Structure 1
Amino acid sequence: MARKSRKPVIGITISNHKSKIMRFFDWLAVWRAGGKAVFLAPGRAYPSEYLDGLIIGGGDDIGAELYGSEINMDVRIDPERDALEMELLRCIADKDVPVLGICRGAQMMNVFYGGTLYSDIRGMPREKTNIRTVLARKIVTLEPGTKVRAVFGLETVRVNSLHHQAVDKVGNGITVSGHDRGDFVQALERADKRFFIGVQWHPELLVFDTRQQALFRHMIEAARDGEKLDSTCLGGP
């Protein structure tokens, strides 16, 4: 009997207070795509000797000091998680480890490369296009020739929307690959990486949408034969 191929190990960043239900959706998306999910949270022991891929997950707002904006006292931040994710991105900056950013994760990818964010789009004239819903109701246009467009195979997709921060200035080397009707950035990527994609929505919650789940399948495939992130980067074993 042929030996089964090893499942790629995918690290998923989370906060220490993320609910078990939301963690389940993260785990399920990776498992369905053929990977093994391990969770990375501030202050916790590194759960694996290496990672084949990284998902920077959704969650609290990113600290405004990381992108030179004014601090908003009305939002919840997680400085320890910010530091963890920035360090992970530094570790893979010169590697070709597949990375998927989800909501906050896409914003962090942009900030790492010198981009900025709108700290709170609520009240902006364009905000009226930002439907807040876990259902796939918002329309996103995907740019031709981009990796995101290739994953979906469509010009437009319907997505959910739970964010109130958004990409403002685009980071160095980042390509905007999708936007909504209010012209807010909804997808970004790097052309010099095999898989470095961030989406402003939550594909892990759209469990019955096969095109949304394709994001995870493409990531897992890229992780099967790509470079690895060694745990020594973060002081692991």
Structure 2
Amino acid sequence: MSRPVIGVTVSRRSGWRIFPLVAFNLWLAGGRGRKWQSGTDTAPDLDDVDGVIIGGGDDISPDLYGGQLVTSARLEPARDALEHDIVADAMERGIPVLGICRGAQMLNVVLGGSLHQDAYGTYTASKHVWTILPRKRVMVTAETRLAHIAGTAPMIVNALHSQAVDRLGCDLNVAARDDGGMIQAVERTKDPFALGVQWHPEHLFYAKRQRAVFRALVNAAAAYKANRSQLKAVDRI
């Protein structure tokens, strides 16, 4: 059986180094990555993929959820528009989505949620780290799909974000929080499969629990390709 194809959105600045990492994780999980980014001649085509990853990068404009812009925000409007359309179309078609950092936030926004633009200003008890190294502790919520995928023991992950989920989008549940209560993962409660993690599992490929996140997406993508239940496919992990 051919490997499910996963479209992966990346930043124009850092995509050259991030996409190979994500593609490597997908290959380990049984999938195959296809690079997407704004400003190229070739527009992403959801007809060509079985799943989607919305990758990390700059902050999301508050224009997408009715918030007020903070002066520290670093925005990429063309990417906002591209990824918003991709996630909305994927949900409509029933294509599974994994959101990484910014991607988790975009998933929440597209489904009607909002963001804390100054996450650490809101969650003052949360440990503020900015590193690709695993330095932040995250607690997985019991009886969630993420708990089934990766277990309930605390995770030590990386963190490169300044924004975080505020009001949850439609059909999303909290799947993990940090020590200060900040949301660190969200998941959709029905098909299509959708999971958003605030950290960067692509940098943690040596950790079995982080590889399982990519395997969940690939399993869901294979189920989409075969017109089967995605959540049941993920639950078989």
Taking structure 1 as the reference length, the TM-score comes to 0.88
Unpaired stretches in structure 1, ≥5 consecutive residues: 229-237
Aligned equivalent of 2:232: none
3-state SS of paired residue (2:168): coil
Aligned equivalent of 1:192: 190
Unpaired stretches in structure 2, ≥5 consecutive residues: 227-237
Aligned equivalent of 1:35: 31
- Choose between structure 1 and 2 for higher RCO, CA contacts under 8 A separated by at least 6 residues: 1
Counterpart of 2:26, as a letter, is V
Deviations 1:185-230 (A, max 9, x none): 00101111252100000000012111101111121122113159xx
Shift of 1:103: 0.2
Shift of 1:19: 4.3
Deviations 1:53-112 (A, max 9, x none): 000100011011111111123221111111111111221223331110000000001111
The answer (yes or no) to whether the contact 1:116–1:167 under 8 Å persists in 2 is yes
- 1:167 is the counterpart of 2:165: yes
The answer (yes or no) to whether the contact 1:174–1:190 under 8 Å persists in 2 is yes
Q: Supply the RMSD in Å over aligned alpha carbons.
A: 1.8
- Identify if the C-alpha distance between structure 1 residues 36 and 118 changes in structure 2 by more than 3 Å, giving closer, same or farther: same
The answer (yes or no) to whether the contact 2:91–2:192 under 8 Å persists in 1 is no
Aligned equivalent of 2:82: 84
Find 2:7's aligned residue among 8, 11, 23. 11
Q: Aligned equivalents of 2:39 and 2:113: distance in 1?
A: 27
Aligned equivalent of 2:21: 25
- Identify if the C-alpha distance between structure 1 residues 151 and 128 changes in structure 2 by more than 3 Å, giving closer, same or farther: closer
Structure having the higher Rg: 1
Taking structure 2 as the reference length, the TM-score comes to 0.88
Q: Aligned equivalents of 2:28 and 2:153: distance in 1?
A: 25
Aligned equivalent of 1:235: none
3-state SS of paired residue (1:135): strand
Counterpart of 1:11, as a letter, is G
Query: Identity across aligned pairs (percent)?
Result: 40
3-state SS of paired residue (2:148): helix
Which structure's residues are more often helix, by fraction?
Answer: 2
Counterpart of 2:153, as a letter, is E
Deviations 1:32-58 (A, max 9, x none): 212111111123204665110000100
Aligned equivalent of 1:94: 92
How many residues are matched?
A: 224
Aligned equivalent of 1:108: 106
Shift of 1:179: 0.4
- Identify if the C-alpha distance between structure 1 residues 50 and 122 changes in structure 2 by more than 3 Å, giving closer, same or farther: same
Counterpart of 1:80, as a letter, is A
Aligned equivalent of 2:235: none
Counterpart of 2:27, as a letter, is W
